[in-house]
Chains A and B, each alone.
Chain A
């Protein structure tokens, strides 16, 4: 039962990873690319780590998976927020289809 549930979680994580990286390639702008890829890749990797925890159980690698999930949920939004803020301060242009810019009025 744990094996099947873990494999389902791992497949869901792989699908989310693939969609996030496709958004990193396809979208037109830095802000759109990070908005697509950060959430999808973080959630997909957390799903893969949860599936690994369910398959392996509370062994050494499983406890390290819990540690990696906690670390990833703290660091990844911080890094992307700092990157977006720095890109906005460095005057990187938005795409042509953008309607409003609320940050710089």
Chain B
């Protein structure tokens, strides 16, 4: 029973990766690098990871799970912004990434202060 569940999960991951490799993706390209198709698929991989984080946010048993999912989502956005700044050749995507990371850090600290109670500062 357990091995069949592992096999089903492995097949699901393999189908997701084939969908990532063969799915069409339309991004305007201004630079001509030798491995650019691979970077475009990398954006799909990070979007899959963001889907995992959203799964943990929706179906977390406790509230700390939801906060952890939002924290990881905020870190993953920086990677998407870096890959977009490579593939489109525009530098202000990294501005979006830095601002998103700062906002995610402050919101995580606020949520943990809400979760920890009054004597969190000591």
Contacts and interface: CB of A to CB of B under 8 A. Distances in A.
Interface of A: 3-4, 7, 10-11, 13-14, 17-18, 20-22, 24-25, 30, 33-34, 37-38, 41-42, 44-45, 48-49, 52, 55-56, 59-61, 64-65, 67-68, 71-72, 75-76, 78-80, 82-83, 85-87, 89-90, 92
Nearest to B90: A61
Contacts of A68: 78, 82, 94, 97-98, 101
Q: Which of B53, B97, B120 has the most CB of A within 10 A?
A: B97
Contacts of B27: none
B88 to A, nearest CB: 10
A24 B53 contact: yes
Nearest to B17: A18
Contact of A17 (B45, B69, B71, B95): B45
A24 B79 contact: no
Given A72-B75, A80-B68, 16 more contacts: A3-B35, A17-B49, A17-B79, A18-B45, A21-B52, A41-B72, A41-B75, A44-B79, A48-B78, A52-B86, A59-B91, A60-B91, A61-B94, A64-B98, A72-B78, A87-B115
A79 B109 contact: yes
A37 B78 contact: no
A86 B86 CA distance: 38
Interface of B: 33-35, 38-39, 42, 45-46, 48-49, 52-53, 55-56, 62, 64-65, 67-69, 71-72, 75-76, 78-79, 82-83, 85-86, 90-91, 93-95, 97-98, 101-102, 105, 108-109, 111-113, 115-117, 119-120
A42 B64 CA distance: 19
Contacts of A87: 62, 64, 115
11 contacts: A3-B33, A25-B56, A30-B65, A37-B72, A42-B75, A44-B79, A45-B79, A64-B94, A65-B82, A79-B105, A90-B116
A36 B39 CA distance: 25
Contact of B68 (A30, A52, A56, A75): A30
